[in-house]
Amino acid sequence: MKSLFSAKNKEVIVGPLSLNNPITVQVLGICSSLAVTAKLEPAIVMGMSVTIIVAISNVIISFMRNTIPVRIRIIVQLVVVATLVTVVSQFLKAFAYDVSVQLSVYVGLIITNCILMGRLEAFAMSNRPWESFLDGLGNGFGYALILVIVAFFRELLGSGSLLGFHVIPASVYESGYVNNGLMVMPPMALIILAIIIWAHRTKVKQLQDN
């Protein structure tokens, strides 16, 4: 059991949170991180959905990795991802209808999320299932983390609420404060993301070019 959480495995799951973050360092999955971060709730659901899908598809592909014909490996990966995404989307429609309406096409677009294909091709195709599972979780969390941070600022400054609850007291509005309408527009997600990347690189020396 010791080997399950060896130093290497720990690196596999912790790495994507900071040093190897799929969004801020590898700059993958930008499109969905712009689209679903106007509010905190859809961002959290999206982060969870992607985490679940990356982890499970990583495991499945890892189990299949020695049988997959090389020439159609991308197709096989796509079919596995597409199946999982469809199932998750059906579950959302059945059990979290309001959220699925908000996420609309973006659940389906998880299929084309570069993070997924990247992890399958780069990691799951050449690693054992357990490591692949950790890698999927790590990358999913790394993705979700950034989504939640961006959504936190966008919902707070754009709508004055968090998870739908108003957190900015009415007295602040009375003294002249207004919600920043720009925050709910996609461009502000890009700007917040850029600020996160800036702060991240300033803090983590390994990411800086000489």
146 versus 188: smaller Cβ distance to another protein: 188
Choice between 23 and 38, CB closer to another protein: 38
Residue among 44 and 185 whose Cβ is closer to another protein: 185
- Structure tokens belonging to residue 191: 């700007």
Site for another protein in 134-193 (CB under 8 A): 181-182, 184-185
Nearer to another protein, 38 or 116 (CB): 38
Q: Which of 4, 121, 119, 131 is nearest to 53 (CA)?
A: 119
Residues 59-118 that bind another protein (CB under 8 A): 66-72, 75-76, 79, 83, 86-87, 90-91, 93-95, 97-98, 101, 104
Minimum separation from the CB atom of position 122 to another protein (A): 20
Binding residues for another protein, how many (CB under 8 A)? Answer: 27
Angle at 96 between CA 116 and CA 60, to 5 degrees: 30
Q: What is the DSSP string of 68-127?
A: S-GGGHHHHHHHHHHHHHHHHHHHHHHH-HHHHHHHTHHHHGGGG-HHHHHHHHHTGGGS
Give the residue with the Cβ less far from another protein, 66 or 210.
Answer: 66
Neighbours of 100 (CB within 10 A): 19
Site string for another protein, 18-47 (x = CB under 8 A): --------------------x---------
Contact 161, 184 (CB under 8 A): no
CB of 8 vs another protein, minimal distance in Å = 28
> Is the four-CA dihedral 22, 26, 32, 33 of positive or negative sign?
positive
What percent of the residues of the chain are helix, what percent strand, and what percent coil, each to the nearest 5? Answer: 75, 0, 20
- Secondary structure (3-state) at 54: helix
Torsion on CA atoms 113, 114, 117, 121, rounded to nearest 10: -170
| Nearest-approach distance from CB 40 to another protein, in angstroms | 15
Minimum Å gap between C-beta 91 and another protein is: 7
| Contact residues for another protein, defined by CB under 8 A | 38, 66-72, 75-76, 79, 83, 86-87, 90-91, 93-95, 97-98, 101, 104, 181-182, 184-185
